[in-house]
């Protein structure tokens, strides 16, 4: 059962945006991958046997510079983008990321509002960087954490990173003033479904919003199969049995998480049911890769190269028009089609570490 945004919310959202895709969906969110590198080797994203020492990451000269990213972000804002999420790879590994945050935090929507700027991180270097990120203008943050038990966590990150470093980073983020701090946990049957309740216990009655994500068939390098999905409905049922919860309204059109709250006032949590209850109908997201290609869907195989446009002297207006034309043509709805046909549809999909979550 997915919460529906109110009709008024939908109407407002559709009216304030200037462009829509072929299925009538507005362009609202931009996800920017700032690096394809990562210091973790999560089994469901960058398995070691593929991403070993011989793997060729994007060379530095092929990455967009912070100035190029900011210029493109400005074009997207012209087209109606109000929210930007920085991701990767591990975004905090990109050197001087604070400088990019300063640039993006200074952007304004056509009606003069700051953007809703956020970042998703594995938390490994967040404790050291929380204050400088906040001072640069980042006010919201999401940390990925799939277990509370250290042995499980070390198996999931597969590089022996200890849980204490991440828990300390989350506390640090709260203390520095990030609000909200969210924690994302991907649940995979046979790996960490026993961590659902320990995660809930740990984050209930704290300012942190915990969100559970269904294991997805991203990229072409992971060993995904349907049997390993723990459906969002099952996660909700498991939690509700021990900690009664009730549904909350969606905050805005295109919100990925179905929101719930503890009946005893223990706070809010979310579930993201990309597989069992896809939300393509309200998908307002576009993704920009580290080397400047845009992708209309997390499961696309083809992107559109904006870096060449930027580096060949095109004006902002020409770049903006190219993005608009690309979005107007968009008709992707991979997860709905996967559900309707019961099959994975694309032969070669972009990788999660390349495009971000």
Of 20 and 168, nearer to ligand SAM (C-beta) is: 168
Q: Does the protein bind ligand SAM through residue 256 (CB under 6 A)?
A: no
User: Closest separation between CB of residue 120 and ligand SAM, Å?
Assistant: 4
Of 32 and 319, nearer to ligand SAM (C-beta) is: 32
Q: Does the protein bind ligand SAM through residue 192 (CB under 6 A)?
A: no
In the chain, DSSP finds a helix count (H) and a strand count (E) of 12, 12
From ligand SF4, ligand SAM, none, interface partner of 145 (C-beta below 5 to 8 A by class) = none
Residues 320, 291 contacting (CB under 8 angstroms): no
Q: Does the protein bind ligand SAM through residue 184 (CB under 6 A)?
A: yes
Residues 333, 284 contacting (CB under 8 angstroms): no
CA distance 262 to 248: 10
From ligand SF4, ligand SAM, none, interface partner of 136 (C-beta below 5 to 8 A by class) = none
Applying CB under 6 A, among 35, 82, 118, 122 the residue interacting with ligand SAM is: 122
Q: Does the protein bind ligand SAM through residue 88 (CB under 6 A)?
A: yes
Of 260 and 299, nearer to ligand SF4 (C-beta) is: 299
Place of tokens 């109908």: 281
Of 299 and 304, nearer to ligand SAM (C-beta) is: 299
Q: Is 254 left (phi over 0), alpha (psi -120 to 50) or beta?
A: left
Distances 31 to 153, 169, 231, 247, 288 between C-alpha atoms, Å: 26, 23, 25, 27, 6
Measure the CA dihedral 82/86/88/90, to 10°: -160
User: Closest separation between CB of residue 334 and ligand SF4, Å?
Assistant: 4
Q: Does the protein bind ligand SAM through residue 84 (CB under 6 A)?
A: no
Consecutive H or E run containing 262:
strand 258-262
Consecutive H or E run containing 339:
helix 334-341
From ligand SAM, ligand SF4, none, interface partner of 191 (C-beta below 5 to 8 A by class) = none
User: Closest separation between CB of residue 283 and ligand SF4, Å?
Assistant: 3
Residues 196, 203 contacting (CB under 8 angstroms): no
Map residues 8-47 to x or -, x wherever contact with ligand SAM holds by CB under 6 A.
------------------------------x-----xx--
DSSP bridge partners of 285: 29
Estimate to the nearest angstrom the gap between the alpha carbon of 223 and the chain centroid. 21
DSSP bridge partners of 73: none
From ligand SF4, ligand SAM, none, interface partner of 192 (C-beta below 5 to 8 A by class) = none
The interaxial angle of helices 126-136 and 163-176, nearest 10 deg, is 20
From ligand SAM, ligand SF4, none, interface partner of 87 (C-beta below 5 to 8 A by class) = ligand SAM
User: C-alpha angle with apex 197: 229 to 210, nearest 5 degrees?
Assistant: 80
Site for ligand SF4, rule CB under 6 A: 38, 40-42, 45-46, 88-90, 122, 144, 278-280, 283, 285, 297-299, 332-335, 352-353
Chain residues in the site for ligand SAM (CB under 6 A): 38, 44-45, 87-88, 90, 120-122, 144, 184, 186, 213, 215-216, 218, 222, 352-353, 356-357
């Amino acid at each position: 059962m997915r919460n529906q945004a109110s009709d008024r919310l939908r109407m407002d959202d559709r009216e304030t945006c200037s462009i829509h895709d072929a299925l009538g969906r507005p362009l609202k969110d931009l996800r920017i991958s700032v690096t394809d590198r990562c210091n973790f080797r999560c089994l469901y994203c960058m398995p070691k046997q593929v991403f070993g020492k011989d793997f060729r990451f994007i060379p530095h000269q092929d990455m967009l510079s912070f100035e190029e990213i900011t210029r493109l972000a400005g074009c997207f804002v012209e087209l109606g983008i109000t929210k930007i999420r920085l991701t990767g790879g591990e975004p905090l590994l990109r050197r001087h990321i604070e400088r990019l945050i300063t640039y993006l935090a200074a952007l304004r929507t056509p009606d003069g509002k700051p953007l809703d700027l956020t970042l998703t991180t594995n938390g490994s270097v967040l404790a050291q960087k929380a204050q400088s990120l906040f001072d640069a203008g980042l006010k919201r943050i999401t940390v990925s954490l799939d277990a509370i038990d250290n042995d499980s966590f070390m198996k999931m990150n597969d590089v022996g990173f200890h849980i204490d470093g991440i828990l300390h980073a989350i506390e640090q983020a709260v203390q520095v003033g990030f609000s909200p701090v969210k924690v994302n946990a991907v649940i995979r049957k046979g790996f960490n479904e026993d961590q659902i309740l320990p995660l809930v216990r740990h984050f209930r009655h704290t300012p942190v919003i915990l969100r559970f994500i269904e294991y997805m068939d991203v990229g072409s390098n992971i060993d995904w199969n349907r049997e390993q999905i723990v459906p969002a409905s099952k996660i909700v049922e498991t939690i509700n049995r021990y900690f009664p919860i009730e549904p909350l309204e969606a905050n805005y059109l295109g919100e990925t998480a179905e929101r719930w709250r503890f009946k005893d006032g223990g706070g809010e949590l979310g579930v993201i049911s990309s597989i069992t209850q896809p939300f393509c109908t309200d998908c307002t997201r576009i993704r920009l890769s580290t080397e400047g290609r845009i992708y209309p869907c997390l499961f696309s195989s083809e992107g559109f190269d904006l870096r060449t446009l930027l580096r060949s002297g095109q004006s902002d207006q020409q770049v903006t028009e190219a993005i608009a034309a690309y979005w107007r043509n968009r008709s992707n709805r991979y997860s709905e089609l996967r559900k309707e046909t019961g099959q994975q549809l694309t032969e070669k999909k972009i990788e999660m570490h390349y495009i971000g979550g």
